[in-house]
Amino acid sequence: MTGHVTLTHKELYQRVEAIFRKAGLNDPQSRALAKVIAAGERDACKSHGIYRIEGAMRTVKAGKVKPDAIPELLAADETAIVKVNARGGFANAAFELGLPELVARTRRLGLAALVINDCSHFSALWPEVEAVTGEGLAALVMCPSYATVAPAGGSRPLLGTNPFAFGWPRQNQFPYVFDFATSVAARGEIELHRRAGKPLPEGWALDASGKPTTEPEAALAGAMLTFGGHKGSAIGTMIELLAGIMIGDLTSPEVLDYLGTTTLAPFHGELIIAMSPQAFAAGRPGDPFSRAEVLFDAIVGQGARLPSQRRFAARARADAEGILLADAEIEQLDRLLSLGLDAVV
């Protein structure tokens, strides 16, 4: 195919990691960010792939994230709540630090939570969900963002696009995973429509005067809508409560006040809850994993697809054939690597 370059997952990871190192990020942060971004491209999740690199670098340049932060696992105790302070760095390295303790406590207690505070966060949640399901545990992950979404019935930005993800482990196959924004679509999708010069589908957004719009620019200046009307609005609000207020971190409107812009990665906290299905089902009839397979078979048996099936198919394709990037994307990666933070304004 002309106008495209094929990279292996490892090659893409190495390029992205080199860009972050050039931008001044330390080892744990460069590695953790490159991992989620390369995984996003591999899994055909463009809204959280390489296009996010510039935003992360802009956030470094603006001094709104600490490129040299070393996350800290707070005083290990025996409760079900594991706390990691990202100390102003990106969430991803903090997650990697807290994961082993989260897993150990979940195995011991049946249920545990990882609270990440004081982090910059721009990534998809499924890599974290899959890290937990890879340990044979179920996971719920959520975080706020910045105020860009109108509550159902309102017309002004208040809630974040607040992603919500869940995973259930399966033997010898990919886990059951869903991961979605609680707005109709991720804000990254609006930005990608803007860049491609494409109108938005109806029902995604309001303009600044509160009228429905399909113009990406007007949507970015206005408010996005919640998915499922009042239902997405309630789930988005729950995320503000649990992964903002309850963990003593910023809510989406507070994040926007703090940053003053939506062009930088938001700064807030994150909540990861891990559960042991065996511990919950103990003493009850049936094996939870076998029973789950009956349910999944029944869903697929109707011709429906499981969430993440598209993503896992893209992963298998990328592993076999490589990751296809447009020439313009490769040029941009080269530019970011050669200019470092001078490449972003």
Give the residues lining the site for ligand NDP (CB under 6 A). 45, 47-48, 121-126, 143, 145, 161, 163, 165, 178-181, 185-186, 189, 305, 307-311
Region of 14-22, 62-70, 181-189, 326-334 interacting with ligand PYC (CB under 6 A): 181-189
Task: Tell me whether residue 261 is exposed, middle or buried, using C-beta atoms within 10 angstroms of its C-beta: 0 to 12, 13 to 18, 19 or more.
Answer: exposed
189 catalytic residue (yes or no):
yes
Q: Which residue has the tokens 């002309």?
A: 2
- 179 is in the binding site of which of ligand PYC, ligand NDP, none (Cβ under 5 to 8 A by kind)? ligand NDP
Q: How far apart are CA 90 and CA 242, in angstroms?
A: 20
Is residue 120 a contact residue for ligand PYC (CB under 6 A)? no
Q: Which is nearer to ligand NDP, 5 or 62 (CB)?
A: 62
Parallel/antiparallel/unpaired status of strands 81-85 and 111-120: parallel
User: How many residues lie near ligand PYC (CB under 6 A)?
Assistant: 9
Q: Which is nearer to ligand NDP, 65 or 337 (CB)?
A: 65
Closest approach, Cβ 126 to ligand NDP, in A, equals 5
Helices 52-61/27-42 angle, 10° precision: 160
Q: How far apart are CA 93 and CA 235, in angstroms?
A: 27
Q: Which residue, judged by CB position, is nearest to ligand NDP in the bound state?
A: 124
| Residue 159: partners with Cβ closer than 8 Å, 6 or more residues away | 147, 148, 149, 150, 151, 182, 183, 226, 233, 236, 237, 240, 252
Q: Which two tokens stand for residue 77?
A: 């105790």
DSSP 51: T
48 catalytic residue (yes or no):
yes
- Site map (CB under 6 A) of ligand PYC, residues 15-54, x = contact: --------------------------------x-------
120 catalytic residue (yes or no):
no
Q: Which is nearer to ligand NDP, 186 or 337 (CB)?
A: 186
Q: Which is nearer to ligand NDP, 45 or 99 (CB)?
A: 45
Is residue 161 a contact residue for ligand PYC (CB under 6 A)? yes
197: helix, coil or strand?
coil
Closest approach, Cβ 262 to ligand PYC, in A, equals 8
Is residue 187 a contact residue for ligand PYC (CB under 6 A)? yes
149: helix, coil or strand?
strand
Q: How far apart are CA 16 and CA 33, in angstroms?
A: 8
Is residue 243 a contact residue for ligand PYC (CB under 6 A)? no
**Which ranges of the chain does DSSP label H, i.e. alpha helix?**
9-22, 27-42, 52-61, 91-109, 126-133, 187-196, 216-221, 230-240, 252-259, 277-281, 288-301, 309-321, 327-339
Closest approach, Cβ 201 to ligand PYC, in A, equals 16
- 289 is in the binding site of which of ligand NDP, ligand PYC, none (Cβ under 5 to 8 A by kind)? none
| Active centre residues (catalytic) | 47-48, 189
Which residues are at the interface with ligand PYC (CB under 6 A)?
47, 122, 145, 161, 181, 186-188, 266
